[in-house]
A and B are shown apart, each in its own frame.
Chain A
Amino acid sequence: MSDTLIGFGARQRTRPALRVSGRAVAVRLRRFLSPVLLVVAWQIACSSGVLSTRLVASPAQIVTTGWSLLHDGTLPTNLSVSLIRAVSGLAIALVVGVSLALMSGLSRVGEDLIDAPLQILRTLPALALVPLFILWFGIGETPKVLLVALGATFPIYLNLHKGIRAIDPKLLEMARTLGLSRGRTIREVILPGALPDLLVGLRFAVGISWLMLVVAEQVNADSGIGHMMMDAEDFLRTDIILVGLFIYGLLGLASDQIVRFLETNLLAWRPSYRAVGRTS
């Protein structure tokens, strides 16, 4: 980000700076060069018939299909269904993960009771529970949301628990010498101190929830982006499948940005985040 800013300011002033800005622009363009070339090559391969559209649709076709899916409402409908599943699963994971981490992080009894079973469950691949979830919860929304929640709970629990346990004992001693009550110590010292770890956990959880959602929607669903893609498979519509992939990519990117935004704002006290906030 910073090199363009420098280049932009400099361009208006002097000739040597013009060269600098020219080079900076060239460097940035070079970064885009290879993806653009790949897409062009892809298009040429499809148009000339080297690549069969039954294997992979052409970029132009993908754009057209994306546009029509957007207009006939297929994409918005399925996207909102997927979003609701992911967000509600993540919300459940946040509540459960944070509560469990608080209980086991703040009391020895809690740790003995909660930590061991969670550490055991964590080693199970959550996706292996799909058949069991379908037996238990049927094929409605419940198993899908719960699958997302299950996968996302662990990173939140593990990171927050670690964060609480890793609070500097010197700060806790200081709180004692200041006469802070237990409740106040938790509120003012322990929770803010563990927040960076919670946000790391949240970032992992967001990534995992998309993964869980993809599987849940492809195994058994009548709506959602995953269902849209599975449906397209039956009709050899590689263009729709690729639109779905593209949407998944965008969703992952967007949710990562949201967590980054949270980090920059909630952790303003950390020098690294402040520096990032200043230059961008």
Chain B
Amino acid sequence: MSDVRRAPSGATAGQAVIVEGLTKRFGNGPAVLDRLDLAIAPGEFVALLGHSGSGKSTLLRTLCGLDDVTEGTVSRPSEVSVVFQESRLLPWKRVWQNVVLGQDGADRRARAEAVLREVGLGHRIDAWPLTLSGGEAQRAALARALVREPAFLLLDEPFAALDALTRLKMQQLVSDLWVRHRCAVLLVTHDVDEALLLADRAVVLERGRIRTDLPITLDRPRRHADPTFERLRATLLESLGVHDA
């Protein structure tokens, strides 16, 4: 942890997150992350793509402080929140208690209520987590991330386990929330369309290095039928090694 500099939100050269020369290896194996450089501006939405084993998860774990930095430097805001693929709610605490877990203050319930209403879960405030559907549980996890007012939000394939329709709704929700909160976001995903719908920039990771760093300059809301969308999609798939006919 000693190498992680806690930057005040957006201070260092106008960036929220700066990764420089980050190298990571497990044991004597090949580098999982290889002298990686990445900068995310305040309020920027970055999608991180890559095959399994490309180092996506390792980068995410380092950025949220679960893994230590051994080589290189990482500077990030102190208010970082994560949403994982699984909701990771504590089953023995009611939904609102999960949202404000670890938060102090007499207005805990009111704050939980407000943010749960914001993610469309106002009617399940007192529910037990095991009674929630997959989509509802992810909404609760999003609420738990947002109640901390993060300057940097990490999303680790948060919709991967949801059905297609729920996923569309959740993508819309994340897009709306991001417009309102304007925090820097790093979305780890396998879904090229998702990246193109949501992000300002798509970064493709390959063998621990950035292979492609593609700005997505489309206007929002984005349409799949847009020719630019199609072109960007082809570029991203190509750099992921999928050749679309």
Question: Residues of B contacting A170 with CB < 8 Å?
Answer: 84, 86, 88
Contact A177 B82 (CB under 8 A): yes
Chain B interface residue count, CB cutoff 8 Å, equals 21
A142–B82 Cα distance when bound, in Å, is: 55
B28 in contact (CB, < 8 A): no
Of the candidates B88, B92, B101, B130, which one forms a contact with A180 in the assembled complex, judged by CB atoms under 8 Å apart? B101
Question: Residues of B contacting A176 with CB < 8 Å?
Answer: 65-66
Chain A interface residue count, CB cutoff 8 Å, equals 22
Report 10 cross-chain contacts, Cβ distance below 8 Å, ordered by A residue: A171-B90, A173-B88, A176-B66, A179-B102, A180-B102, A188-B101, A192-B90, A193-B92, A267-B92, A269-B130
Question: Residues of B contacting A195 with CB < 8 Å?
Answer: 92
Contact A173 B66 (CB under 8 A): yes
Shortest Cβ distance from B141 into A: residue: A174
Question: Residues of B contacting A189 with CB < 8 Å?
Answer: 90
User: Distance in Å from the Cβ of B83 to the closest Cβ of chain A?
Assistant: 10
Contact B131 A177 (CB under 8 A): no
A271 in contact (CB, < 8 A): yes
Contact A174 B91 (CB under 8 A): no
Question: Residues of B contacting A19 with CB < 8 Å?
Answer: none
Interface 1/0s, chain A 162-190, versus B by CB < 8 A? 00000000110111111110001000110
Question: Residues of A contacting B101 with CB < 8 Å?
Answer: 175, 178, 180, 188
Give the secondary structure class of A's interface: helix
User: Distance in Å from the Cβ of A182 to the closest Cβ of chain B?
Assistant: 12
A23 in contact (CB, < 8 A): no
A170-B86, A271-B130 given; name 6 further pairs at CB < 8 Å: A171-B90, A175-B101, A177-B82, A193-B90, A269-B128, A269-B129
Question: Residues of B contacting A28 with CB < 8 Å?
Answer: none
Query: Which B residues are closer than 8 A to A by beta carbons?
Result: 64-66, 80-82, 84, 86, 88, 90-93, 101-102, 128-131, 144, 148
User: Distance in Å from the Cβ of B183 to the closest Cβ of chain A?
Assistant: 15
A153–B191 Cα distance when bound, in Å, is: 53
Of the candidates B66, B80, B81, B92, which one forms a contact with A192 in the assembled complex, judged by CB atoms under 8 Å apart? B92
Q: With A179-B102, A269-B130 known to touch, is A188 a contact of B90 (CB < 8 Å)?
A: yes
Shortest Cβ distance from A193 into B: residue: B92
Shortest Cβ distance from B94 into A: residue: A269
Question: Residues of B contacting A180 with CB < 8 Å?
Answer: 101-102
Q: Which of A179, A189, A271 has the most chain B CB atoms inside 10 A of its CB? A: A179
A180–B92 Cα distance when bound, in Å, is: 17
Q: With A269-B128, A269-B130 known to touch, is A174 a contact of B88 (CB < 8 Å)?
A: yes
A67–B89 Cα distance when bound, in Å, is: 55
Shortest Cβ distance from A174 into B: residue: B88
Question: Residues of A contacting B102 with CB < 8 Å?
Answer: 175, 178-180, 184, 188
